[in-house]
Amino acid sequence: MVEDEYIGIDIGGTTINLGVIQNNRVTKTDAVLVRKDATKGETLQSLYQLIRENLTNRVVGIGVGVPAVVDPVSGIVYDVQNINDWDEVALKMLLELEFSLPVYINNDANCFALGEFMYGENNQSKQFVGLSLGTGLGVGIVINNMLYNGVLCGAGEIGMLAYKDSIVEHYTGSFFFTKYYNVSAKDLAALAEKGDEKALKAFYDYGIHLAEAIKSILYMFAPDKIVLGGSISQAYPLFKESMLEGLKSFAYQKQIENLIIDVSKTKGSALLGAASLCLQNK
């Protein structure tokens, strides 16, 4: 018997990533670049083409994670970050009309968290947070084994909280490195690996700021596990120590003793999570 396939899509500000999922694993990946000057219609056509090139008669559903607030019922996405003219797009309706398949939409950070929660290594957590460290700070929350969306999938926007002279996200996403060090996180990590003092200091400071974000999460949701994903998480050894140092000022240290903080080891978490939206709505 041939197993059903699902398509999971992770829409980013520069790239749309796609995974074909079968038997709870990613069997194929593909991607297309998003042009900054592209119109709404041009970006949609790029998305359609990407799906069309990976569609088989075994595909029974499409799940999409979007960096935006989302109405998961209507599938309308609002104010998509870093994509031109995607202020209000009826994405579910458009994709269902185009491909005659059921389509489910959610926030990209929620999809990452759902993918980690369902398919992550040795995950026995019931109160779980996925923390995506990339261009910004994405947070997805699982409470009592259920993804918590909030209104318009807006729960967990810790990055928008006021912090220092700006907001949390500007100190815990890639903005931090480019704004205060004029170097990308990737390039700074390479320098830090070689012992560059400025780069090491950058990641030390980053860990302190990230600890403040994690403390906010702990006060609000008290998870027993936090999994870090996104491009910056690959530099975890460079900021782990200062992050743990920053957590020493958390008021309830017994809670810290029962907290696991780990880095994602799951291939295609966001794609798996997006595809899982189809399974949850069967």
Q: Which residue has the tokens 């996405």?
A: 77
φ, ψ for residue 72, nearest 5 deg: -70, -20
Say if CB 227 and CB 128 are below 8 A apart: yes
Rg of the chain taking only CA atoms, in angstroms: 19
Has residue 251 got a pLDDT over 80?
A: yes
Q: pLDDT digits over 154-164, tens only?
A: 899 999 999 99
> Counting every residue, how long is the chain?
282
The alpha carbon dihedral of 216, 219, 221, 224 has a sign of: positive
Q: pLDDT digits over 43-93, tens only?
A: 999 999 999 999 999 999 999 999 989 999 999 999 887 788 899 999 999
Closest CA to 270 of 8, 28, 4, 5: 8
**Hey, which residues does 32 pair with through a beta bridge?**
16
Has residue 1 got a pLDDT over 70?
A: no
Q: pLDDT digits over 89-115, tens only?
A: 999 999 999 999 999 999 999 999 999
Q: How confident is the model at residue 135 (pLDDT cuts 50, 70, 90)?
A: confident
In eight-state DSSP terms, residue 152 is: G
- What is residue 270's predicted lDDT score, i.e. its pLDDT? 94
The pTM (predicted TM-score) of the whole model is 0.92
Say if CB 5 and CB 22 are below 8 A apart: yes
CA 64 → CA 17, 148, 200, 280, distances in Å?
Answer: 10, 17, 37, 13
